[in-house]
Each structure stands twice: as structure tokens, then as C-alpha cells.
Amino acid sequence: MIIGKVIGNVWATRKEESLNGMKLMVVRRLDTESGCEQESFVAVDCVGAGIGERVLVTTGSSARMALDNPNKPVDATIVGIIDEVEVRAEG
């Protein structure tokens, strides 16, 4: 899974019907140690994440397992809101 930060929303009225009602959020990938920002992408929110929150994102076919129906064209889902990332120096 990827650690990222929610930085915005995407609005698309003309879209696949099966995506209706889904919250499409823009997420910027974070490097866990340096925190420096990397590429951004769009994920479907499954846990009520808000802008600015650090989140856990699952990608690929596994992302669909967080949906009520896994047969939808979604390749990234927000599956957790992160409380803490504990990285040990000697780790």
C-alpha cells in the first residue's frame, strides 16, 4: 500500500455510471521517511477522508476489494486514515 496526503477533489459529471456517488479524491504520494512529495493520482475514498489528511491507499485489482461491488472500474481506494507512522532510525 501507499502512504499519501489528500490534496483535493475531482469533479466529473460525464463518467461511467458505476462510478456515480463515489468520492474521487486527489492524493499525493509521500515518502514515509523524508515526507517529501511524489506523484499524484486519483483514488476513491472508502473511509471518509478529508483534505490534508494522511491516508493509506491500496492500488490495482486489490483496490476493488474495498468497494461494495468489486466489478467497478476503480484502481485506487483510500482504505485508512493514518494516525501515526512510526519509523525507527536503526530500522
- Residues of this chain that interact with a second copy (CB under 8 A) are 1-3, 5-16, 18-19, 24, 26, 28, 31-33, 39-43, 46-48, 51-52, 56, 58-66, 70-77, 79-88, 90-91
Q: Nearest approach, Cβ of 21 to a second copy (angstroms)?
A: 13
Q: Quick one: 21 or 51, whose CB is closer to a second copy?
A: 51
Q: Nearest approach, Cβ of 84 to a second copy (angstroms)?
A: 5
Q: Nearest approach, Cβ of 28 to a second copy (angstroms)?
A: 8
80 sits in which H/E element:
strand 76-81
The answer to whether 74 and 67 are in contact (CB under 8 A) is: yes
Q: Quick one: 11 or 21, whose CB is closer to a second copy?
A: 11
The answer to whether 37 and 66 are in contact (CB under 8 A) is: no
The Cα-based distances of 83 to 7, 22, 62, 86 in angstroms read: 17, 24, 23, 10
Total residues belonging to the chain: 91
